[in-house]
A and B are shown apart, each in its own frame.
Chain A
Amino acid sequence: MYIKQRNHSTPALSRRDFLKTGSAIGGGLVIGFFIPGATRFANAEPAPNAPFAPNAFLHITPDNKVTVQINRLEFGQGVHTSLTMIIADELDADWSQMSAQLAPAGDAYKDPVFGIQMTGGSGTINHSFTQYREIGARARAMLIAAAADRWNVPHEQCHAAKGVVLGPHGHKATYGELADAAMAQPLPQKIALKNPKDFRFIGKPMPRLDSRDKSNGKQPFGIDFALPGMKVAVIAHPPVFGGKVAQYDAAKALDIKGVAGVFQIPTDRGGSGVAVVADGFWPAKQGRDALAIDWDTANVEKVTSADQLAQYKALARQTGTVARDADVSALATAPKKIVAEYSFPYLAHTPMETLNCVIDLQQDHCTLWVGSQFQTFDRAAVAATAGLKPEQVTLNTLMAGGGFGRRAVPTSDYIVEAVHVAKAYRASGKTGAVKVIWSREDDIRGGYYRPSHVHRAEIGLDDQGQILAWNHVIVGQSITQGTPFASVMIKNGVDNTMIEGMGEPYEVPLKLSAHTVTANVPVLWWRSVGSTHTAFVMETLIDEAATLAGVDPVVYRQKLMGPKSQRHQAALKMAVEKSGYGTRKLPKGHAFGVAVHESFKSVVAYVVEASLEKGVPKLHKVTAGIHCNLAVNPLTIEAQVQGAILMGLGTTLPGAAITLKDGVVEQHNFSDYTVARMPDMPRVEVHIIPSADPPTGMGEPGLPPLAPAFANAIAKLTGKRLRSLPFNLENA
């Protein structure tokens, strides 16, 4: 195998970026790492001149254990294991000696591309592959140097294998035995990264490090963290975003055994709420239920979904801010036309672990334990809210029970709220930590949704079904407007997160414009972001055009793809061949559906098999062709694809929508907000295109093509084109 991007002997980062960090607990070799300067979101860093604090990435202790610090949040995507694999490979460690920890907030742990500490954009492996390889390689070189010095032999006569250094005369020493001496070695100027053909872990299906503890109840999550004397808080949020408490009566709440205090606190968007602090969740929740609160929502906009949809549809008939131009004059004379209007609802993320945050606020310091996806912003927000300096805030990253975007909030909404609770609690003369827990209702009604959208497409085709002109308008809220991401993500007035995924890989005369609407509903990235809707629109429209052309939808796609789309072609070919598309006879009433989409630099093609069961769309099987360049852990990639398919399928199911009436969210819990369950799960087969190119991420790209592939199969069965998520056959 061959890694194209980088010469093996020329590491991406110079020697000065690495540091040996002093005084390791338990002795041994500790290697730290610092990202000088910042990159993509550098301007988003609220404290650019924060003092440099070296942080350990790798710690080899004399007892022969290797601990890797994970510069990300682990919330299911498997980086806890895959980043450890990457270091272990270059370190030539034995897998049994490896373990991993989630790193706290710290400058060293910033994403080397984004310049902030965060987990998102399917970026972990893509951005940290070389970073973690180099850390492992440096440590290995120092261990070899220490061994060579000990045995008084030339370095080049020593080599490392499976956690030991071997010398020329039967010498042998474990990494643990060498760790202290290695720490005394200078950091190597130059290191050689492995030839990928020598990888022992990278590219192999490695089982997760955390599966045992996640199967026996021992894995601690943020919500499980407790301190002696800690209280639990539950918050009554305003019924409309930004609403305020007019007055409240806490008498009944305070009568409940275990309730320690009731406090009015500021909440998100300039609103206010009431926090009940108690001995545990149950008395806190009972206390909240017993509050009598009069809300003032007079001065906040109250969105009603039906009205918003009508507003969006009207806007979609007008050209918006142009993001991509093309000559669409042929629309007037084209012999064939597709005019299609699509709608997508708000979506909640509903990770299984509801939002929570443990906070211990002291006079001059604040410590948090939280499943943070945005440590840099969250720490800064805590400092600002608590009136502390960032260095007075310690933020410990705990494993999270899913996230799908909800723990990556530029406003740090739920963490800021926790600081307000802690401030109020402390101001009342009490001391000790508080854990704020959101109920499921808080989660579903608490905002930060995938934005609702309307798309309108007018496509003109010739008699052969070839696309002559395509005028496309998208309406929706911007995710990044007003956040530190705006300057990078909003180009010429259009938020890239609204339009990403439109156009490519097809060579079509597409004119794309967007209307950015403001509405009093907080919006946020949701697994695969813009591609959650753009892929649906693109891949169902291309399929429809193929049908109009009378051409097989796979062949039509292949012909329409540009020369730069070799990865798309390969992924589609793989899915087609492995599925038996065009060759395998399906049971009566079953049909194939196809879609291919690139997001976050990876390409995923699906061929699905679907039917109608008593008139209801049913997905039976998905065959996936994946192109993510070098597949670091194929077992994890398979899991991510299965998961993304399930989540994509969830968006098609009746009830998978957040709607509002007079500003109030109409859904409450899993009873009225649908998520996919076991009987919904199709059989999934994942096939990965072999590649040695630098790896791209797979946390999100499996989601976008699922719903359109499913819709295309249903269209084949019914002749009806589904134009909305969730599916609505009656309106199709």
Chain B
Amino acid sequence: MLTLNINGQDKQFDIDPSTPILWALRDNLNLTGTKFGCGAALCGACTVHINGLPVRSCVTPISAAVGQHITTIEAMGDDRIGKALQAAWVRHDVPQCGYCQSGQIMSAAALLKTNKKPNDADIDSAMSGNICRCGTYQRIREAIKDAAATLA
């Protein structure tokens, strides 16, 4: 039995400790906002925060997160930066299919925590691990800058 702190609550898991956080969230807690995209830390759809840092949950076993604070997209509305990003995402009509956007917002939130006014190069660098097949990148860039402005 492992205990993980997810979105401020302790949750117990009676599953294989090698289970990636992604599947513990999705299949055990029904927190489906975090998405499966590649299973190999290549696309960023599964991005969560562990102690505020972006982590690919599809390759991070639950055993590595015991005693750490995991935050998912479901709790980002309670986070000052997360809330500003979500509002900017809606203002800029960012999502198309929307499947990658949880991961995009989690990566963008991690960026804005350390860089209050990112330029295009900063955004490209911080977001290059998050694939969007629909091609929402331009609106993501605009939304991140807009969110940064509203937070300033």
Contacts and interface: CB of A to CB of B under 8 A. Distances in A.
Interface of A: 75-78, 207-208, 210-221, 223-224, 226, 232, 256-258, 279-283, 285-286, 350-354, 399-404, 437, 439-441, 635, 639-640, 642-647, 669-671, 675-681, 683-684
A403 B134 CA distance: 9
A282 B73 contact: no
Contacts of B86: 212, 215-216
Contacts of A404: 133
A643 B124 contact: no
Contacts of A644: 135
Given A215-B105, A283-B16, A639 B74 contact: no
Given A207-B93, A642-B136, A643-B135, A281 B27 contact: yes
B137 to A, nearest CB: 4
A217 B36 contact: no
Contacts of B132: 352, 646
Interface string B87-104: 001100111111111100
B23 A639 contact: no
A216 B128 contact: no
B28 A401 contact: no
Interface string B57-101: 000000000000000111011000000011001100111111111
Given A216-B74, A217-B102, A440-B39, A678 B97 contact: no
A681 B123 CA distance: 12
Contact of A76 (B34, B43, B76, B98): B98
For chain B, the bracket of interface size reads 35 or more
Interface in B130-144: 130-141
B40 A232 contact: no
Interface string B39-53: 110110100000000
22 contacts: A215-B94, A216-B86, A217-B76, A224-B32, A280-B27, A285-B39, A286-B16, A352-B97, A352-B131, A353-B37, A401-B97, A440-B42, A646-B134, A669-B42, A677-B129, A677-B131, A677-B137, A678-B130, A678-B137, A679-B124, A681-B135, A681-B141
A148 to B, nearest CB: 39
Given A216-B33, A671-B42, 17 more contacts: A208-B95, A216-B74, A217-B31, A217-B73, A218-B33, A224-B32, A280-B15, A282-B16, A351-B97, A351-B99, A351-B133, A401-B97, A440-B43, A675-B133, A680-B137, A681-B137, A684-B138
Nearest to A675: B131
B136 A679 contact: no
Contacts of A399: 97-98
Given A208-B93, A352-B35, A643-B135, A679 B99 contact: no
B15 A258 contact: yes
Nearest to A283: B16
A75 B128 contact: no
A218 B99 CA distance: 11
B26 A281 contact: yes
A640 B138 CA distance: 12
Given A353-B35, A670-B38, A257 B16 contact: yes
Nearest to B129: A677
Contacts of B131: 352, 670, 675, 677
Given A76-B96, A281-B26, A670 B43 contact: yes
B124 A678 contact: yes
Contact of B96 (A257, A285, A643, A671): A643
Q: Which of A216, A352, A399, A645 has the most CB of B within 10 A?
A: A352
Interface of B: 15-16, 19-20, 23, 26-28, 30-40, 42-43, 45, 72-74, 76-77, 85-86, 89-90, 93-102, 105, 123-125, 127-141
A441 B19 CA distance: 19
A352 B37 contact: yes
Nearest to A400: B97
Contacts of A403: 97
Given A215-B95, A215-B105, A216-B86, A279 B137 contact: no
B99 A220 contact: no
B33 A353 contact: no
Contact of B36 (A281, A646, A669): A281
The 4 closest A-B pairs by CB, nearest first: A217-B33, A401-B99, A214-B98, A646-B135
Contacts of A439: 39
B90 A215 contact: yes
A508 B135 CA distance: 35
A286 B19 CA distance: 10
A282 B98 contact: no
B42 A670 contact: yes
B139 A282 contact: no
A677 B37 CA distance: 14
A223 B46 CA distance: 13
A404 B134 CA distance: 9
Contacts of B23: 280-282
Contacts of A78: 96
A678 B36 contact: no
Nearest to B102: A217
B33 A639 contact: no
A78 B102 CA distance: 18
